[in-house]
Chain A
Amino acid sequence: MIWIWIILAPILGGLLYGGERVLRARMQRRQGPPFLQPFYDMFKLLDKRTLIIHAPHALLAIAHFFVLWLSVAAIFLGWNLLYIIFLHLFAQLLLVVAGYSVRSVYSHLGSNRELLMVVAYEPILIFVSVGFYLVSGSFEIAEILKTGGYLTQLPLLFAALLVIVPIKVKKSPFDVGEAHQEIVGGVEVEYSGVFYEFLYMSRFLEYIFIYSFVYLFGGDSSWAGMLLVAGVFLLVNLADNATARVRTLQMVKIVSMTAMAFSVINLAVVVL
């Protein structure tokens, strides 16, 4: 049963992405694309001629996608939270290497920004998992989901997670890594056709990855988890429509001043 969900994970993420595009359009009082638009895009990309820069560059995109899929699978299987975070970091680094492997300046800029994004959000993810450990006594997701009351004990940690969700789903004000019209997609710039499709689908998996962290705050009540995910989803899209992009270093500064401070204070309170 769980394997079916793992195989369907990219499709679930695609539905989430499609729903988000419609929601964002409705917030701007326009009709927006069809709900299944991400899948139309995927089928179209399969039909395009593919331009390849060099083989490792194309291969790294596929590797990025599959390692990311593995980390999402690990979440569904209820593995250790730290494994999952580091698997995800590995996937991210594959993408960074891919970005540096071509000559495009935009690609290099995208890789630089991707690394700074990792610097910004990675400590927070680890702090969040440490917070779960302090409350539930385990890093295993299966164990974490057996106890509840995370929101009452870790409210500031949840706020910290809220700050880094836009970085991970590449939304304003923290969409520096992608930044269309500024650095034309960053690391995506040299990809086309089938290989771009893998990057496009890995975006869906990122959605599942970060929103499952939000879901974990619901604890043993799956309804609370779903409600949290829906609330954060709305809030992130509202912020996306209402804010402009900040610069990369500003982003790192903002995240370390708010999210980092929140999580350290919260962890100190729980430990003491």
Chain B
Amino acid sequence: MKFFSSFRKRSPWVLHYNAGSCNGCDIEILAALAPKYDLERFGVINTGNPKQSDIFLVTGPVTYRSRERLVELYSQIPEPKVVVAVGSCTATGGVFRGMYNVEDGIDRYIPVDVYVPGCASSPQLIIDAVARALEILETKSKEIEKPFKLFGAIETIHNRLSRLNMAAKVGQNEKN
């Protein structure tokens, strides 16, 4: 509904996930949430629970260990949702690009709406990215968004997407 959609940008709840980052960007995200930069003045809460979140803040190049959790968390966030890739690693792989145990960036697995540059990206940039993400969030519909790499069949129960065990489907039929 149009009336309720206008409140999306006033109350964005954030889920923060570290997909194998060096913790540099995570510290900056926490700095943005802490009293000095105070992201809470936009109504941001760091929920830590995917089912109640709107914005997915991801840091780090995706390591093989973390990609299943990444997809699981992404598919557990109810639509409308926005993904923000924080830091160079998350966008392109950064200094880890081409390494044997990482994927180069999260957009191989899930659709990304906002990329934040920097190694590590500064709190100002992160706040800017969240503000940009809010504009995108407002225009999004409630269409179901699926991760890119989800091998195996997508299951439906009573004509609805089953979100059970999304992560288990990532590894199937894959070479790595």
Contacts and interface: CB of A to CB of B under 8 A. Distances in A.
Contact of B52 (A21, A28, A33, A192): A192
B48 A184 contact: yes
Contact of B51 (A21, A30, A180, A189): A189
Interface in B31-88: 35-36, 38, 40-43, 46-49, 51-52, 54, 76, 78-80
B4 interface: yes
A191 B78 CA distance: 11
Interface stretch (B6-14, B20-28, B124-132, B147-155): B6-14
B139 interface: no
A105 to B, nearest CB: 14
Contacts of B142: 47, 49
Contacts of B7: 40, 43-44, 47
B169 interface: no
B163 interface: yes
A47 B8 contact: yes
Contacts of A193: 78
Given A29-B35, A47-B1, A180-B47, A191 B41 contact: no
B5 A47 contact: yes
B11 A32 contact: no
B51 A190 contact: yes
Contact of A180 (B4, B43, B48): B48
A31 B41 contact: yes
Interface residues on A, range: 20 to 34
A37 B11 CA distance: 7
Given A40-B10, A181-B48, A48 B41 contact: no
A137 interface: no
A32 B10 contact: no
A196 interface: yes
Nearest to A28: B35
Nearest to B76: A51
A31 B10 contact: no
Interface in A52-81: none
A46 interface: yes
Nearest to B1: A47
B11 A40 contact: yes
A32 B44 CA distance: 10
B41 A44 contact: no
A30 B49 contact: no
B35 to A, nearest CB: 4
Contact of B49 (A28, A41, A185): A185
A51 B163 contact: yes
Interface string A206-237: 00000000000000000000000000000000
B35 A44 contact: no
Interface string A3-37: 00000000000000000010001001111111001
Contacts of A258: none
Contact of B43 (A28, A41, A191): A41
Nearest 7 A/B pairs, CB to CB: A192-B51, A43-B7, A47-B4, A40-B10, A49-B78, A30-B38, A30-B35
Interface of A: 21, 25, 28-34, 37, 40-41, 43-44, 46-51, 180-181, 184-185, 188-193, 196
Interface of B: 1, 3-5, 7-8, 10-11, 13, 35-36, 38, 40-43, 46-49, 51-52, 54, 76, 78-80, 142, 144, 163
14 contacts: A32-B40, A33-B41, A41-B13, A43-B11, A47-B1, A48-B78, A51-B51, A51-B163, A180-B47, A184-B48, A185-B47, A189-B51, A191-B51, A193-B78
